[in-house]
Amino acid sequence: MINIDEIVKGRGTAESRWAKFGPYYAMFPIDFAFKVVKKYSKKGDFIIDPFAGRGSSIFAGGVLERHSLGIEINPVGWLYGSTKLNPAEQQLVLDRLDSVYKLRNRYTKSIEKLPEFYRFCYCDEVLKFLLAARKNLKWQTDTVDATLMSIIIVYLHGKLGEGLSNQMRMTKSMGMNYSIEWWKEKGYLFPPEINPLDFIIKKIKWRYKNGTPKIADSSILFGDSSDELEKITQRAKDTKIKFSLLFTSPPYWSITDYYADQWLRLWMLGESAVPKSNAHKHKGRFGSKVEYYKLLDDVFGYCSKIMDADKSTIYVRTDKREYTFNSTLEILKKHFPLHTISIKKQPFKGKTQTQLHGNTSKENGEIDIILTKK
């Protein structure tokens, strides 16, 4: 018997140690993910999440023995989700860490070419190690490298002593100049001297203390849902597979730019050393209502073709603001006309996702749209 409370609240099992792996904006609370999966699906069912984020829905589905499939366009979220579904063997990860650490001195000169931010943020020993990992880990194609890289980016920055960096202000505001001025103002003029090998070894051993999670056949694809779902629709047709639960939270219109907000971790994954928005129409901030509407229309349109026509649930958490909510509801009604609709408001004691991402509208909060057909 799977104890969900132990997974979402404890640390005594492999599943609980990996469940919340990876800090990520706009993530499903893990207890919410387990609650929805358990209520609206059964063992052996097929579940899909086309906007998987760090994969909480897919992880919950896999642990609860559902066949779960996610899609994520942001490499940070995809890396977190893929790793916790299938972490590599601990000793292989430790061996790979050691081999990368031994390459660090090749990058002594390279750290001098980086913007000033990096020298404030990391001591030289850490920075050389990060460059070695950035250049040598094949995280997109190798499970061991992916596991190690995901653990590195989890601890890339944070509170003093909890990450590899200088003290970070506990906010998503991490612009280069902003951070430098904040460090100077607060007196954090020198980054902590950290041995990255010892630091990461401790983090790996803590994560693996209870082993690796037992997951049913589940995975997350790295790509754009608009493209991947077209292929999935054809495969599902060929294999006669039907999904019983569509469980997701699409991006909110004009709220945040996940690429700009995750720029430091994306730098570790090979992108620019200077933060910038991504020009891809599905990777930056959705400022165009036309593009936003089309994305949701395309994605839910494809999903409607793979859902069980006789019995399925569509569970979508979205933004309470008028345009985002109305557009999402309209599109869902269009593609699932025979489903019964219920709306559930989601009040929070703390800040909502929209507030965390800079929304100053009075329409704060999130809302769940649930479509069922039995």
DSSP 362: S
* Whole-number pLDDT of residue 24: 81
Q: Is residue 14 within 8 Å of residue 87, measured between CB atoms?
A: no
C-alpha pair distances (Å), 38 with each of 21, 42, 189, 220: 21, 7, 49, 20
Q: Domains in the chain, ordered, with CATH?
A: 4-85+214-255+278-373 (3.40.50.150), 90-207 (no CATH)
* Band of pLDDT at residue 165, cut at 50, 70 and 90: very high
pTM over 0.85: yes
* Whole-number pLDDT of residue 352: 43
* Whole-number pLDDT of residue 363: 54
Buried b (16+ CB within 10 A) or exposed e, 120-148: bbbbebbbbbbbbbbeebebeeebbbbbb
Contacts of 288 by beta carbon, 8 Å cutoff, 6+ apart:
281
The dihedral sign for the CA sequence 9, 15, 19, 20: positive
- Per-residue pLDDT of 184-215, as tens digits, reads 999 999 999 999 999 999 999 999 999 999 99
